[in-house]
Structure 1
Amino acid sequence: MVIPTYNEAANLGWIVARLRRAEPEVDVLVVDDNSPDGTGSLAEELAASDQHVHVLHRTEKNGLGAAYLEGFAWALAQGYDVIGEMDADGSHQPEELHRLLDALQAADLVIGSRYVAGGSVVNWPLSRQALSRAGNLYVRLLLGIGVRDATGGFRVFRRQTLEKVDLGSVESAGYVFQTDLATRTVRAGMVVAEVPIEFVERVRGSSKMSGTVASESLRLVTVWGLRERRQQLARAWRRTSGRRPARTRRPR
């Protein structure tokens, strides 16, 4: 499981311990963005005491998506066949990871979803829930994908999925990375499954979500959606213009 961190010293040891208890065979990669609160040093301590924990240090904070891309590249190079992602703040509960792993038997990407039957959100105000649901509806309508929680960040991928979606061409660095990869998986003709989870708002530390992050997500989803519509129109025009007019027989 790839866990990106920035100033998560209050949560990292706690969440890694829970993950290791819940899934003892699962390895952990902490990708730290040079956290000034010492998260990177704490990650090194965890790795020194547990061979299943690894650390990747980045020199600066330049986006959740960028951190995941480096983490995925490391995992692929190490030969892992299943690669997952989750937050460090406890919002994704390691005790539910088995649901995602079980569902991966019949899918290429599994998302722990807040918005399918059985999913829930704990300790979010109604305004934030409404914004999140509206954002996912916008994604479904504009990008034409059926994923209910395309912005969710609790996921597991097959190795072949990440290889097929061309990570080298990913243009999203922030939280919209989640939508980007879900969309790429659907477009590639692969199976995306969603399983219900209970999403719990963090109780320690501060959220990394901001107006800038939300604006980037809205802008890129709009760009992708308009691009897809143009491509659909172009394909339809080619099909129409490529038809030859029906031939009629002359009377003898």
Structure 2
Amino acid sequence: MKLSVVIPAYNEEESLPPTLRILYETLAKHGIPHEICVTNDNSKDGTLRVLQELSAKEIPTLVYYTNPGPNGFGYAVRYGLERFSGDCVAVFMADLSDDPEDLVRYYNKMQETNVDAVFGSRWVKGGKVIDYPPLKKTINRVANFIVKMVMGIKYNDTTNAFKLYKRETIEGIKPFLAPHFNLTVELPLKAIVRGYSYAVVPNSWTNRKYGESKLKIKEMGSRYFFILMYCLIEKYFSQGDFRKKSTTVASKPVSR
């Protein structure tokens, strides 16, 4: 099973070299057939130059695109999700806040259980966060609690962007609506509402070493709320029109 890794990148010339090198080395070490797909989101720094050099000299599995616009985190991820060639696809951060070894665990979990998606959680046994800003952590836990209660689910880290989906799952949850960071909520909630099976695996998160986070919490509240309400409406009023078409019933969430 070929793995695609979609990485959105805006002004990440400092972060990308160490991230892509360790990601490639880890996947190669474990013998995982893969491609690393970076969407350069019209960066104003040397991001494109870095991608050109790494692709030509160091990382043979690296492919990259430049998203001419509209731009934004969600648009950049969606650009990659329309172009990957693998049998499954993960969303991975350019700043190495995600651990490549966790991605290997996701991949192995999908292979072992044949679930439609694998979701990471930083807040279950085995998960951890390193240098997580206290205010951001408080907002994260409150937001995820609200999502759990509103949607009636047990999964506790919906806002975590780091997830793995089968190609069929990605196709089944289209069309995408979110142009910003709220895409991280849209993808898993649609998968759950539409009857796709998933496993939950502990993962770690480490604060970025270079540059600034692109997530502006003050700007995202209403956008997250919009996606949450959309998925809630689909869950109770769509009459199952968008549910996974299968002769078997989707399995319940699978723990590690």
Q: One fold, TM greater than 0.5?
A: yes
Q: Is the 8 A contact 2:178 2:227 kept in 1?
A: no
Matching residue of 1:59? 68
**CA drift at 1:146:** 2.7
Letter in 1 for 2:212: S
**CA drift at 1:229:** 7.6
The secondary structure found in structure 2 opposite 1:36 is coil
TM-score for both structures, normalised by structure 2: 0.83
Letter in 2 for 1:112: G
Letter in 2 for 1:199: W
| Cα separation, partners in 2 of 1:156 and 1:35, compared to 1, 3 Å | same
Judge which range, 55-64 or 180-189, deviates more.
Answer: 55-64
The secondary structure found in structure 2 opposite 1:23 is helix
**CA drift at 1:46:** 1.3
Displaced runs of 4+ in structure 1, greater than 6 A? none
TM-score for both structures, normalised by structure 1: 0.84
Q: Is the 8 A contact 2:42 2:71 kept in 1?
A: no
Larger Rg: 1
Rounded to whole Å, the distance in 2 between the matches of 1:185 and 1:226 is: 12
Matching residue of 1:134? 142
Listed as ranges, the gaps of 5+ residues in structure 2 are: 241-256
Q: Is the 8 A contact 1:6 1:61 kept in 2?
A: no
Judge which range, 7-16 or 65-74, deviates more.
Answer: 65-74
Letter in 1 for 2:10: Y
Question: Is 1:123 matched up with 2:131?
Answer: yes
Show CA shifts across 1:173-220 (max 9, x none).
111111111011111211121211111011211000113542243431
The secondary structure found in structure 2 opposite 1:92 is coil
Within the candidate set 2, 5, 10, 1:6 is matched to 10
| Cα separation, partners in 2 of 1:163 and 1:221, compared to 1, 3 Å | closer
Rounded to whole Å, the distance in 2 between the matches of 1:2 and 1:42 is: 17
- Percent of aligned pairs sharing the same letter: 28
Rounded to whole Å, the distance in 2 between the matches of 1:110 and 1:92 is: 14
| Cα separation, partners in 2 of 1:196 and 1:170, compared to 1, 3 Å | same
What is the alpha-carbon root mean square deviation over aligned residues? Answer: 2.1
| Cα separation, partners in 2 of 1:203 and 1:98, compared to 1, 3 Å | same
Question: Is 1:187 matched up with 2:181?
Answer: no
**CA drift at 1:100:** 0.6
Aligned residues: 229
Within the candidate set 18, 24, 45, 1:20 is matched to 24
The structure where helix makes up a greater share of residues is 1
Matching residue of 1:84? 90
Listed as ranges, the gaps of 5+ residues in structure 1 are: 236-252
| Cα separation, partners in 2 of 1:231 and 1:33, compared to 1, 3 Å | same
Matching residue of 1:154? 162
Letter in 2 for 1:3: I
Q: Is the 8 A contact 1:143 1:224 kept in 2?
A: no
**CA drift at 1:61:** 6.0
| Cα separation, partners in 2 of 1:63 and 1:145, compared to 1, 3 Å | farther
Q: Is the 8 A contact 2:189 2:231 kept in 1?
A: no
